[in-house]
Chains A and B, each alone.
Chain A
Amino acid sequence: QQPVQSPQAVILREGEDAVINCSSSKALYSVHWYRQKHGEAPVFLMILLKGGEQKGHEKISASFNEKKQQSSLYLTASQLSYSGTYFCGTESGTASKLTFGTGTRLQVTL
């Protein structure tokens, strides 16, 4: 089952903040975040592991609530370059594979 992302789309003015949520019905081992700009390949943003470890880019922050099987991606002081579709990918059980959500389309305007 795909994780559910919310909101499906959001429009921000430059400098505003946004939160993108990812929720799963399964117990999660890790959550991965990627951003895909139109016509380009997805680019890695962050991995959040069960137990609290995080790996990612310094300017991106996220949280992982293991009990609720939820993760949130925090975009602060948004820039035009933040525009794109954000995907969360979840890993559960022993299978080493990611199940991606359907994405959150973010548009930052002047």
Chain B
Amino acid sequence: KAGVTQTPRYLIKTRGQQVTLSCSPISGHRSVSWYQQTPGQGLQFLFEYFSETQRNKGNFPGRFSGRQFSNSRSEMNVSTLELGDSALYLCASSYAGLNEQFFGPGTRLTVL
């Protein structure tokens, strides 16, 4: 069974730009969660999607948004990038909700 895939793996952007990250969950998994990982803050929950609906959202500004498609693939968008958005963005999929989550390799975003 193929694991969770994330594209792209690395991104370099400048302040003010926007970025879209993609996550393909394990086949059959309907829940996709997104996390931001930074050295100081650890893993911060961004949002969770289940069957194309956002069920939960973390404490991030509205510049962070996401969506999920009918095939469970998910995208995350960050608009008006700031230097502080530099981080590793991880997505995790599970069959449903907070069961065992399988993490993807992450997208390393650098904002210059």
Please indicate the chain A residues that have their CB under 8 angstroms from the CB of B45 in the complex. Answer: 97-100
Asked if A2 contacts B100 (CB within 8 A), the reply is no
Q: CA A78 – CA B63 in complex, angstroms? A: 43
Given A41-B103, A41-B106, A42-B90, the answer on whether A32 and B43 have CB atoms closer than 8 Å is no
Task: Please tell me if B48 contacts chain A, counting CB pairs below 8 Å.
Answer: yes
The count of chain A contact residues (Cβ–Cβ below 8 Å) is 23
The reply to whether B101 and A44 form a contact with Cβ atoms under 8 Å apart is yes
CA distance A95 to B101 in the complex (A): 16
User: Which of A30, A55, A95, A97 counts the most chain B CB atoms within 10 A?
Assistant: A97
Counting chain B residues whose Cβ lies within 8 A of the other chain, the interface size class is 20 to 34
Query: In chain B, residues 66-112, which have Cβ atoms closer than 8 Å to a Cβ of chain A?
Result: 90, 92, 97-106
Contacting pair A30 B98 (CB below 8 A): yes
- A87 and B42 within 8 A (CB): yes
- Tell me which residues from 12 to 43 in chain B have a Cβ below 8 Å from any Cβ of chain A: 33, 35, 40-43
Cβ–Cβ < 8 Å partners of A47 in chain B = 98-100
Q: Is B65 an interface residue (CB 8 A)?
A: no
